[in-house]
Amino acid sequence: MSARVSGIDAMAFHGTQYYLEMADLAAARGVDPDKYILGLGQRQMAVATPCEDTVTMATVAAHRALERFDIDPGEIGTLIVGTETGVDHSKPVAVYVHDMLGLAPNCRTFETKHACYGAMAGLTSAMDWISAGRARGRKALIVASDIARYGLNTAGEPTQGAGAVAMVVSEKPRLLELDPTSFGDYTRQVMDFWRPLYSKYAFADGHYSIDCYLDAFSGAWRDACENAGSWDPLRLDRLAACFYHVPFTKMARKAHHRHCETEWGKKVEREDTEQVAAIRESYDQQVAPWLELNSVVGNIYTGSLFLALMDYLRKAQPAGGERVSVFSYGSGCGAAFGTGVVTPEAAGLAERLDPATHLEQRRKLDMDRYEELIRLSETADHNEAPYPDPADWQLDRGLYFVGTRDHVRQYAGSAADTP
């Protein structure tokens, strides 16, 4: 029996109501703005208020995906939330989202955690669920939702961000048909980035993590070639676009450089001018045009790869039939590389998934308000903390976290009302 086809049928993004200009952060920290804007490739970063958390962002993004693509919540048979910033060591974010969306009781739910790889793990699990015949005509809802927060005056401060990307996976995808024969995996135990149970903030070995990321790409790509039976279907000259995990947008340049080296079977140094020029041209055509959303949202961990895919689908106006690649990396580490084919319907649906209106409605933070927000967020979910009030942040409508009472998280409002 041949495997059932599946792919991404709907997508939507939801971030925060506030953002910070990277130039303002640089000025406040006594840093040349080009270090952040050119060196990291970041222009702005989304900043979550104490009333915005992984649950609220995931729920709003999921609601938008279902509503804008005319999907009945009753059609969802699996809900997976990929996150590395969950709200409970035991209770999954997915259960909160399931309740707030009003999904059916026979919908299975769980949370996937493997640093920034969690959402890809959910996506491939949904593909397997459909392929195995367990879906029975239903669809899967996969949500990547995270808040990247490293604290004030830290090395990681300019690589923060927050947001959620929701994807509906079905047997008749309207956006991207995923090719299961082109997916490959890689896993290795490394200590490049981790967050102990007792810490609000992660620990990282930044340079080592980049090396781990690049090694994982080569390993996952080679496994994908073995799965496909040949590297020929995955060749760069057959790909219309390449999407990578981007904790900061310049990471995509490093990843694409390794992509070219891995395919060519040789290391390319600066003095190899012809090869360097070829990599630059490939990057400018296949990667760089689709990083705008990442540059104004910042690091959203599990969702960063899929935010780049959304940027392509909203801007490229593909005719259908274009093959694209996706690479997800999660520290610790786990990774996957695969490809998919854009559907003929995708171009006509670009407006439905474009988050431009939401991003235009965000409000700019000044440094004093930003630093106050970060400090308050550190303890906003503590049981003894004052209840965070959306009105304090001019959040007059929407779905928001409003504190912990008797050790139970409380939410108010509706995803349908969130701007």
> Per-residue pLDDT tens for 96-126?
999 999 999 999 999 999 999 999 999 999 9
Backbone angles phi, psi at 350, to 5 degrees: -55, -40
What 3-state DSSP class applies to 400?
strand
Query: Which pLDDT belongs to residue 2?
Result: 53
What pTM, to 2 d.p., does this model score?
Answer: 0.97
- Cα 100-106-111 angle, rounded to 5 deg: 60
Helix (H, G, I), strand (E, B) or coil at 119: helix
Query: In 229-272, where does DSSP find H-type helix?
Result: 250-264
Mean pLDDT of the chain: 96
Is it the case that residue 392 has pLDDT exceeding 90? yes
- Flag the least confident range among 57-61, 168-172, 198-202, 240-244: 198-202
* Catalytic residue flag (residue 245): yes
Q: Tell me the two tokens of residue 213.
A: 């990321």
75 is catalytic: no
Residues 6+ apart with CB under 8 A from 351: 314
Point out the catalytic residue in the list 14, 21, 52, 116: 116
- In CATH, what class is 6-417? alpha beta
Distance CA 146, CA 157 (A): 15
Can you read off the two tokens belonging to residue 173?
């995808």
The ranges assigned to domains in the chain are: 6-417
Task: For tokens 């000259």, name the residue.
Answer: 237
Which tokens in the block code for residue 122? 């959910």
Q: What angle is formed at CA 88 by the lines to CA 144 and CA 150, rounded to 5 degrees?
A: 65
Q: What is the dihedral of CA 22, 28, 33, 39, to 10 degrees?
A: -70
Residue 267 is encoded by which pair of tokens? Answer: 């290391």
- To the query of whether residue 114 is one of the catalytic residues in this protein, the response is no
pLDDT in tens, 303-362: 999 999 999 999 999 999 999 999 999 999 999 999 999 999 999 999 999 999 999 999
What digits encode the pLDDT tens for the residues 286-298? 999 999 999 999 9
Catalytic-role residue among 84, 111, 292, 322: 84
Q: What is the per-residue pLDDT for 5? A: 86
φ/ψ of residue 183, rounded to 5? -95, 140
- Give the number of other CB atoms < 10 A from CB of residue 351: 10
State the pLDDT at residue 1: 41
Catalytic, out of 14, 98, 114, 245: 245
